[in-house]
Structure 1
């Protein structure tokens, strides 16, 4: 379980980027972070693995206080936190397999990684992860030969190679088309449920968050303004998170107009009948 309590982050001469954030994430739970740009979503994710140092508060993963670790101990714990990035963060000139094996660098001696001599056990697991994400036939391709969706699948396999206890996922679908976005989110959800991995996903696409997250936290101005079920994301709640906006799609607007017109027509007929 991940527990974040009273987490705040500020920079010199600036407002609080995160303001007294507290929540828990259970095993296998997928938490979607939504909110406008600048709300603090990416900062929150990076505070969890201390890529950004929190100003105050505690971060505890399975009983280990991450916010109080020394540099050497933090390196050990970071092996247990898989990170999946918006821009994939692959080494383009390396093969798919080599990129996946880079997820094991925290577990093998430097000389082995330098000469790309990974233990057979790690290689076998990398093959299994590539099969799980549907890329087994692309094992020897260079990363720069892949599509965006395939690159994101490599990123997922690389994160799994770390044998993580937590997944942090930053805008996994921002560069993908709608169909591929749904496939990637479905894959992430299936893997989290299979391995009982907790995950925090920073995501702008509200419908995707509603479809694939178990729980939603809405941030605005560095504060939690909503924490609840995806089903509870009403227009009122979305307005609290994002500000005033027209939340109906064009199709929904058309349906509303049609329904309103039909109702007025029925009322007129009833009046005439009377």
Structure 2
């Protein structure tokens, strides 16, 4: 379980990015983190794994206080936090398999990582993960030969190769088309539920967050202004977070896209059964 208590971040300029942010994320829960640009979403994600140093407060993962760790202890703790990035953060010249195996770099001796000679168990797990994310046929392809959706799937597999206790996901669909965005969100949520893995997904698409997240946390100017189920995101709440917008039209368009995609999946299943 992740527990964040009174997390605050003040930059040297005096700008306050986060103010007394508190919440817990139990095992298996997927949290959608929403809010306008500059609300503190990315800062919050990075404070959890100490890529950004909090100014005050605490972050505990399974009773380990991450905010108090130093050097080697912090590196070991980060191995248990999988990170999925908006821009994929893959090594383009390496193969898909090599990128996935990079998730084990914090566990293996330097000589193994330098020579890319990973233990057989790590390689077997990487193959299982590639099969789970639908990329088993692409294991030997270079990362720069993949589409955006495929690259994000590699990033998911790499994070899971770490055997994490928590997933932090930063804008996983920002560079993807709507259909691929839904596929990626569906995959992340399914994997979290299968493995009981808690996750925080920083996401700009409110409708997508409502469709897939178990819970929504809304930030405004570095403060939590909403924490509850997706159904609780009324127009009044959304206006408080983002300002005035035609939320009804946005939801209707997203629902139509989702219905069309579901129909396509059903047709594909019928064709497979016919064969």
TM normalised by structure 1 equals: 0.91
**What does residue 144 of structure 2 align with?**
144
**What does residue 242 of structure 1 align with?**
242
Once residues 16 and 200 of structure 2 are traced to their aligned partners in structure 1, the CA distance between those partners, rounded to angstroms, is: 21
Once residues 236 and 114 of structure 2 are traced to their aligned partners in structure 1, the CA distance between those partners, rounded to angstroms, is: 54
Once residues 217 and 83 of structure 2 are traced to their aligned partners in structure 1, the CA distance between those partners, rounded to angstroms, is: 19
**What does residue 157 of structure 1 align with?**
157
**What does residue 207 of structure 2 align with?**
207
Matched position secondary structure for 1:27? coil
Matched position secondary structure for 2:89? coil
The structure whose Rg is larger is 1
Matched position secondary structure for 2:182? helix
Task: Check conservation: 2:207, 2:251, Cα contact below 8 A.
Answer: no
Question: What's the CA shift for 1:251?
Answer: 9.1
Matched position secondary structure for 1:249? helix
| Deviation sequence 1:171-225 (CA, Å, 0-9, x none) | 0000001110000000000000000000000000011100100000000000000
The answer for unaligned runs of 5 or more in structure 1 is 254-274
**What does residue 71 of structure 2 align with?**
71
| Deviation sequence 1:47-92 (CA, Å, 0-9, x none) | 0000000000000000100000011100000000000000000000
**What does residue 59 of structure 1 align with?**
59
Once residues 166 and 252 of structure 2 are traced to their aligned partners in structure 1, the CA distance between those partners, rounded to angstroms, is: 38
Q: How many residues were matched structurally?
A: 253
Cα RMSD after superposing both structures:
1.2
Once residues 42 and 236 of structure 2 are traced to their aligned partners in structure 1, the CA distance between those partners, rounded to angstroms, is: 24
Q: In structure 2, do the counterparts of structure 1 residues 250 and 140 end up closer, same or farther at CA, with 3 Å as the change threshold?
A: closer
1:89 correspondence with 2:89? yes
Once residues 53 and 13 of structure 1 are traced to their aligned partners in structure 2, the CA distance between those partners, rounded to angstroms, is: 15
Question: What's the CA shift for 1:15?
Answer: 2.5
Matched position secondary structure for 1:21? strand
Matched position secondary structure for 2:247? coil
- Structure 1 segments (4+ residues) deviating >4 Å: 250-253
Question: What's the CA shift for 1:252?
Answer: 5.9
TM normalised by structure 2 equals: 0.90
Once residues 221 and 23 of structure 2 are traced to their aligned partners in structure 1, the CA distance between those partners, rounded to angstroms, is: 17
**What does residue 174 of structure 2 align with?**
174
